Amino acid sequence: MQRDELERLSKAELIELVLRLQRPEKTSRTSSKPPSTDRKERRERSGPGGAKPGHEGRSRPSSDEVSETVAHYPEACPCCRAALPRDLPAEEAGVHERIELPEVRPLVVRHRRMAVRCPGCGTRVAAAPPAVGTPFGPRLHAVATYLKTYQALSYERLQAALLDLFGLRESQGGLMNMLRRAQRRFEAGRERAVAALRRAEVVASDETGVRIEGSNAYHWVFRCQAAVVHHADPTRAASVVRAMMDGHRPAVWLSDRYSAQQGHGMAQQTCLAHLARDAAYAVEASSARRRCGGCCCPAAGRCGSIRPG
């Protein structure tokens, strides 16, 4: 803001501007901001990296499953250069492991339908076709579903991952159809989870923004003692909760203070984590106002700032 703009402000507007500038910056500890947005401490004030003094060292434990064991014997004595035969008594002096991933390539089985002539009547007879369905097997469906949902890869990155890791070339449309087929395997489990949610006495709910196929949407989570239900919806309105609960009103509804999350249970419990961060911000804001002695306030101490002591 320029000087001429400040001069046009009224006294009340100047007071509000000063108070707003004195408020502490919100962090992940005092708001819903992610930790990645927090301002990092200055390098000279940060502690040294590595283990702390007195920390007990730890080494990687040996593998429980070993594919192959190779014994290595010394070939010659370093003192007298005499050859050391393999049949000498030996004891284990150390163990080292080398872990590697096997080469993974798609397993492609080509089914050929053969036709022959009947020697009796001369009719051409072709073999019955194999089971009709997708050319992709269940393990490939499982890997694609895991990478797309649990690891949150986009279709473009999923396409590249399957090519780089397994040498499998597949179009994004084919991957989308693959995930749609896999989705049907989860329908029964989701119905059981939703049914448990609609019987629960205590339900917790929250929502957060998410991008779905290039559009803004919301990821809703509903949780009770017996189930957790994830639901994607283009809206953040209370209608999502009403549709999910289907008329059921639990004894206690646990959520933040967002208006769409209110009024869905017999009693409302505000999330303690939200209350704790609001209280932490209130304490920091109060401390910041105490540090203000009024010397920089245009209201000369009448802005409500608290002087130290």
- For 79-102, the three-class secondary structure string (H helix, E strand, C coil) is CCCCECCCCCCCCCCCCCCCCCCC
Q: Are strands 252-255 and 202-212 parallel, antiparallel or unpaired?
A: parallel
Chain centroid to Cα 253, Å, comes to 25
More confident site: 132 or 172: 172
The pLDDT value given to residue 46: 60
Determine the average pLDDT of the residues in 294-309.
43
Distance from C-alpha of 296 to C-alpha of 275, rounded to nearest angstrom: 32
The predicted-structure confidence for 162-203, as pLDDT tens digits, reads as follows 999 988 999 999 999 999 998 888 899 999 999 999 999 999
Percent of the chain with pLDDT over 90: 46
Query: Which residues lie closer than 8 Å to 302 by C-beta, 6 or more apart?
Result: none
The pLDDT value given to residue 12: 84
Query: Which residues lie closer than 8 Å to 254 by C-beta, 6 or more apart?
Result: 202, 203, 204, 205, 269, 270, 271
Query: Which residues lie closer than 8 Å to 260 by C-beta, 6 or more apart?
Result: 236, 237, 238, 240, 241
Q: Cβ–Cβ contacts within 10 Å for residue 91, how many? A: 4
Q: Are 196 and 252 in contact (CB under 8 A)?
A: no
Query: 252 has which bridge partners?
Result: 202, 267
pLDDT exceeds 90 at position 43: no
pLDDT exceeds 60 at position 33: yes
Distance from C-alpha of 145 to C-alpha of 153, rounded to nearest angstrom: 10
The pLDDT value given to residue 107: 86
Reported pTM: 0.59
pLDDT exceeds 50 at position 306: no
More confident site: 14 or 22: 14
The predicted-structure confidence for 84-98, as pLDDT tens digits, reads as follows 998 999 999 988 888
**28-42, 115-129, 164-178, 248-262: least confidently modelled range:** 28-42
pLDDT exceeds 60 at position 79: yes
